[in-house]
């Protein structure tokens, strides 16, 4: 929502959109209304596709690489089946779901699994659709009330910062360069900010909304979310994506609220603990950083504030959050500390060959552009080893 066009954007938010897909802007599924009303419809649709693929490859002679690929596909299918069996129960076993999700969630099931892990979707199946409908109506009401008075009704300081940050979100990614997506993000961030006066809006929160938005958008389209034109979304779908993003973002931020209140004490505490942890994991690296007068706040503040989202891609982040959500919302503060430590130590050899300027420049532009799930899973595994070793050794962290 560009403030100067506030009234026009209010009309845009309530306008009637055609559900007919426009392929030049991405592919909108034909059954979006069914998915809005019942998220389990996603499973029925995807199961039909998986079954069709299985029949199509049933008569092929498998040799060499093809056989290897089919084995890998079989493993993925078996994992997916375990997820489906878990989330379609009348009452989801959250411990089982967390165990499955730790090693990654199938892409098409994330719009269902993430809200369950966050507690946004209730575990008993019969109450899910009614709960979603109620929370989405509540969000729509908050938006209507918040923006009903136009610019004069907004907190100018909060709005000004959001207005600056939203166009800077995920630069170069078509989804986030579109006006319609930016209007959605502005609404989400501003409504959250006024509901949390202790912190208000803080730079970096805009980044944290993007994985949720892309995951929930993916439920309604058959193309890459990062290239999709949200301007073609029907009104009920846009409201659903926004609302689900808003409530899940709220639950995530509830667990790291200290990161965003005045003075951001949570981040300062985490950076201090990270410095102490790295000194024990990799003493030569810690000593070299000290000799070069590199302070952890000079690079790790951003790692904590934006949860490494400025260092890795959204797809990398989404895979990482599968594990964080499986660990529980505390993972975004607790486990993330160990991920950041493992992330720094990963570059230890290179960093020890650099002086102050080289270290800072390198850490501000890390070579992670080609990272995929494998690199993220290795990082998570290394972090888990450190977590298992040090998490309960409170005396190693300045007596805390």
Q: For position 3, what pLDDT does the model report?
A: 38
Q: For position 167, what pLDDT does the model report?
A: 96
Residue 202, token pair as written in the block: 């803080």
Q: Is the pLDDT of residue 12 over 60?
A: no
Q: For position 139, what pLDDT does the model report?
A: 98
Q: Is the pLDDT of residue 10 over 90?
A: no
Q: For position 239, what pLDDT does the model report?
A: 97
**Alpha carbon distance 120, 117 (integer Å):** 8
Residue 305, token pair as written in the block: 């504030």
88 and 199 Cβ atoms separated by less than 8 Å? no
**Burial letters for 325-349: b for 16+ Cβ neighbours within 10 Å, e otherwise?**
bbbebebbbbbbbbbbbbbbbbbee
Q: For position 23, what pLDDT does the model report?
A: 44
Q: Please provide the average confidence, as pLDDT, over all residues in the chain.
A: 88
Q: For position 400, what pLDDT does the model report?
A: 41
Greater pLDDT, 3 or 185: 185
Query: The tokens 């089946």 sit on which residue?
Result: 81
Q: Is the pLDDT of residue 209 over 80?
A: yes
Percent of all residues in the chain with a pLDDT value above 70, rounded to a whole number: 87
Q: For position 68, what pLDDT does the model report?
A: 75
- pTM given for the model: 0.87
Q: Cα–Cα–Cα angle for 351, 300, 102, nearest 5°?
A: 100
Q: Is the pLDDT of residue 381 over 60?
A: yes
């Amino acid at each position: 929502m560009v403030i100067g066009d506030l009234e026009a954007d209010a009309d845009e938010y309530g306008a009637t959109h055609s559900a007919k897909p426009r392929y030049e802007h991405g592919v909108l599924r034909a059954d979006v209304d069914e998915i809005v009303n019942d998220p389990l419809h996603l499973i029925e649709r995807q199961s039909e596709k998986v079954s069709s693929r299985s029949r199509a490859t049933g008569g092929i002679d498998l040799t060499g690489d093809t056989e290897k690929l089919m084995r890998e596909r079989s493993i993925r299918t078996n994992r997916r089946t375990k997820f489906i069996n878990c989330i379609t129960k009348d009452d989801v076993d959250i411990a089982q779901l967390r165990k499955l999700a730790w090693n990654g969630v199938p892409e098409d099931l994330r719009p269902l699994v993430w809200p369950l892990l966050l507690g946004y979707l209730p575990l008993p199946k019969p109450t899910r659709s009614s709960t979603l409908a109620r929370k989405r109506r509540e969000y729509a009401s908050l938006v209507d009330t918040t923006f009903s008075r136009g610019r004069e009704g907004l907190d100018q300081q909060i709005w000004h910062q959001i207005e600056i940050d939203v166009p800077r979100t995920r630069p170069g990614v078509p989804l986030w360069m579109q006006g319609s997506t930016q209007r959605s993000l502005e609404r989400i961030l501003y409504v959250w900010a006024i509901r949390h006066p202790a912190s208000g809006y803080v730079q970096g929160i805009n980044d944290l909304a993007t994985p949720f938005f892309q995951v929930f958008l993916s439920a309604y389209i058959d193309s890459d979310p990062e290239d999709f034109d949200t301007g073609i979304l029907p009104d009920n779908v846009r409201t659903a994506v926004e609302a689900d993003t808003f409530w899940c973002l709220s639950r995530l931020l509830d667990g790291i609220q200290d990161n965003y209140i005045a003075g951001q004490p949570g981040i300062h505490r985490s950076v201090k603990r990270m410095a102490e942890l790295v000194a024990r994991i990799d003493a030569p690296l810690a000593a070299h950083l000290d000799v070069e007068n590199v302070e952890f706040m000079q690079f790790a503040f951003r790692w904590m504030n934006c949860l490494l989202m400025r260092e890795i891609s959204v797809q990398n982040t989404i895979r990482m959050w599968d594990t964080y959500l499986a660990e529980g919302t505390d993972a975004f503060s607790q486990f993330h500390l160990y991920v950041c430590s493992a992330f720094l130590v990963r570059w230890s050899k290179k960093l020890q060959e650099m002086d102050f300027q080289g270290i800072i420049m390198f850490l501000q532009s890390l070579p992670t552009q080609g990272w995929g799930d494998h690199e993220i899973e290795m990082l998570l595994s290394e972090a888990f080893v450190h977590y298992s070793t040090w998490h309960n050794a409170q005396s190693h962290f300045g007596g805390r």
